[in-house]
Structure 1
Amino acid sequence: MKTRTILTITAAVMATGAFAQGKSVTIASWGGSYQEAQSKALFEPAAANTGIEVKQETYGGMSDVRLQVSSGQVTLDIVASGSGSAARAAAEGLLEKLDYNVIDVSTFYPGLYTDYCIGGDVFSTVYAWNTNTYGENGPQSWADFWDVEKFPGSRAYRGKVAGALEGALMADGVAPADVYSVLDSEEGIERAIDKIRELKPHISVFWTSGAQHAQLMKDGEVDMTTGWNGRFDNAAKDGAKVAYSFNQALLDYDCFAVPKGAPNRDTAMMFLNEISKPEYQDDLPKYITYGPTNKAAYETGEITADVAAGLPSSPANAAMQLPVSLDWYAKWETIAAEMYQEMLTE
């Protein structure tokens, strides 16, 4: 029976490789340690196992997709995206509907895939601090991050609206459960922006990429910053004096989408199915501390209990966090981004 199973698997792999012969996909992600982790855990092994040639690029996000789709010159087949940005892009008609007859999500966590985007990892937007400045006793809430008397020093903050407003409202006393209700109006958005405006004299840098906020901590350029947990963990491995807390963090997921008019749409669906399998996702935490979206990845034995305890999606860590609302981003991100940009240029 075991021999027959092995032969069946081997035959399936050979058939897939034969079917994929001569096929290729172009994937765009955000570079730095994040794309390196994706490449090692997902893209390169899946390419080897399927025979699909993978061409990798870095890009600036859905604004690049919008430009390609509007010009009718789409060169990207798969893009990495934040879940909120993908929701808005889907609402704009920039993405292909995913084919779940090809892509198997039967063992995915609920809510970590949509008609237009399939989750690739779970991450947290956290506040982090320089341990040379504060030791291990850094801020433990967004109110602490805003408290320049208790925690004097320079800050860095997100230069885009995604993940920027929620913490500001919690710093202003809004309970996590009420954050998106308050943000469901221009007045609520302005309240959050006013709170950031209050901190602005202490913000040295408004960062625009994960590589940038990680480098800020490596260089000791600021005393605390917001950013993505996995980037900070990798910076710490490289010698950065950085720590962070999951308390009041924003629990979110990155996903993969297919731009409207992708030149290799069908191959993209095949490749998304491949990299969504648990035997790939269970390798991602080896390179960056983001959790898998396929819950079966926790059952392969590759992710130890110790590693799982440090991932954003572990039960204890998830319980402390505010899940990001995709509905809010689909409805409000464009308006909020314009209001946020006005504040940045004041």
Structure 2
Amino acid sequence: MKHCTATIAIAAALAAGAAHAENREVTVASWGGSFQEAQSKALFEPAEKAGFTVKQETYGGMSDVRLQVSTGQVSLDIVASGSGSAARAGAEGLLEKLDYSVIDVSSFYPNLYSDYCVGGDVFSTVYAWNTDTYGENGPQSWADFWDVEKFPGKRAYRDKVAGALEPALMADGVAPEDVYEVLSSEEGIERALNKIRELKPHIDVFWSSGAQQAQLMKDGEVDMTTGWNGRFDNAAKDGAKVDYSFNQALLDYDCFAIPKGAPNKDAAMAFLAEISKPEYQDDLPKYITYGPTNKAAYDTGEISAEVASGLPSSPENAAMQLPINLEWYAEWEQVAAEMYQEMLTE
């Protein structure tokens, strides 16, 4: 009887071990190209050494998740997403709530994780300027960006509401810490839109993509524009006469989310816990000029002071910026987007 009991116990242990191994398999979807290549080298491939089996796919964003969830055919365990898209998808019921008793975010920057997505990298929406036009003494605030007398020249601005209203309010004198409180009403949104209307005669282009914002600066088509810091870094490497400032920039992030009904939800949660560790995130800047979301990644010795000085989430640069508020986007973006599009077509 003892032998039989021992045999059963061993069999149970082996079965549990097999289940555990099986549950370390995850399918991760991202956007391909150099971005996913950087994620793969810094995060996904090292996680395989920690015992995960990682299948990588590319996908078309949350519209793909919406289709999978609505048809009950969910094949993805983890998806890379923009923070705003994840906030909306979470509010829509397309994502699993993340378990922060499993995923340690105790050393993350505030506002770089939410109920439905955990930050994977940090970027900034900044104002950039043509150094041939203004030299090194370009605008140093959103008020400067709006000041067409002090800084005459052609502007470019985003054609979507995300990251467009906050700069307008700061240019109108609202303190960064009060921006989202003011925006939490139609009157506040209208105030931001009125400030953009003020600048509109000087906006030659409303850009629609990161590639376009970089090309505008490379071609010298505009003298200053809003956009994403990494795009301007790449443009500068390609010879563009461009510089930018992190002062009053919007601190934003890409994140990882788990689709509702993911086949390997528990493994996905463990995988996100693994790649959120500082010893993974400190490798990101080796492959792409985005910063880690985990502050502790700056303490491992892998990120030099020189490299850190150019990253959005370095302590010095982060302190100058306004972290985007995902709760605001989840609640107000649809209303604000409709009002913004009306303003664009006036």
TM range (shorter): 0.7 to 0.9
Larger radius of gyration: 2
Counterpart of 1:41?
42
Counterpart of 2:7?
none
Counterpart of 1:25?
27
In structure 2, C-alpha distance between the alignment counterparts of 1:87 and 1:266, rounded to whole Å: 21
Taking the TM superposition and a 5 Å limit, the aligned residue runs for 1:1-346 are: 19=21, 23-29=25-31, 33-47=34-48, 50-59=51-60, 61-346=61-346
In structure 2, C-alpha distance between the alignment counterparts of 1:22 and 1:275, rounded to whole Å: 13
In structure 2, C-alpha distance between the alignment counterparts of 1:295 and 1:240, rounded to whole Å: 31
Structure 1: gaps of 5 or more residues: 1-14
In structure 2, C-alpha distance between the alignment counterparts of 1:105 and 1:298, rounded to whole Å: 15
Deviations along 1:252-271, whole A, 9 cap, x unmatched?
33221112233443443233
Aligned-partner SS, 1:221: coil
Aligned-partner SS, 2:136: coil
- 1:57 Cα offset (Å): 1.4
- 1:244 Cα offset (Å): 0.3
Counterpart of 2:8?
none
Q: Which amino acid aligns with 2:44?
A: F
Maintained 8 Å contact 2:113/2:119: yes
In structure 1, C-alpha distance between the alignment counterparts of 2:105 and 2:142, rounded to whole Å: 35
- 1:245 Cα offset (Å): 0.7
Aligned-partner SS, 1:259: coil
Residues 338/264 of structure 1: CA separation in 2 closer, same or farther (3 Å cut): farther
Deviations along 1:100-123, whole A, 9 cap, x unmatched?
454343443444322211111232
Counterpart of 2:13?
none
Deviations along 1:162-209, whole A, 9 cap, x unmatched?
111000111222222322222111011012122223323333332333
Structure 2: gaps of 5 or more residues: 1-16
Maintained 8 Å contact 2:26/2:77: no
Deviations along 1:11-64, whole A, 9 cap, x unmatched?
xxxx99x926993413123x55544432332234334654523323153x4444
Maintained 8 Å contact 1:47/1:54: no
Equivalences, count: 329
The alignment's TM-score, normalised by the length of structure 1, stands at: 0.83
Residues 242/109 of structure 1: CA separation in 2 closer, same or farther (3 Å cut): same
- 1:124 Cα offset (Å): 1.8
In structure 1, C-alpha distance between the alignment counterparts of 2:147 and 2:171, rounded to whole Å: 9
In structure 2, C-alpha distance between the alignment counterparts of 1:342 and 1:71, rounded to whole Å: 34
Q: Which amino acid aligns with 1:23?
A: E
Residues 315/23 of structure 1: CA separation in 2 closer, same or farther (3 Å cut): closer
Residues 130/304 of structure 1: CA separation in 2 closer, same or farther (3 Å cut): same
The alignment's TM-score, normalised by the length of structure 2, stands at: 0.83
Maintained 8 Å contact 1:130/1:242: yes
- 1:78 Cα offset (Å): 2.2
Maintained 8 Å contact 1:26/1:75: no
Deviations along 1:147-173, whole A, 9 cap, x unmatched?
233323332222221111000111222
Maintained 8 Å contact 2:26/2:54: yes
Residues 102/184 of structure 1: CA separation in 2 closer, same or farther (3 Å cut): closer
In structure 2, C-alpha distance between the alignment counterparts of 1:71 and 1:133, rounded to whole Å: 54
- 1:330 Cα offset (Å): 2.2
Q: Percent identity?
A: 80
Residues 268/22 of structure 1: CA separation in 2 closer, same or farther (3 Å cut): closer
Q: Which amino acid aligns with 2:255?
A: C
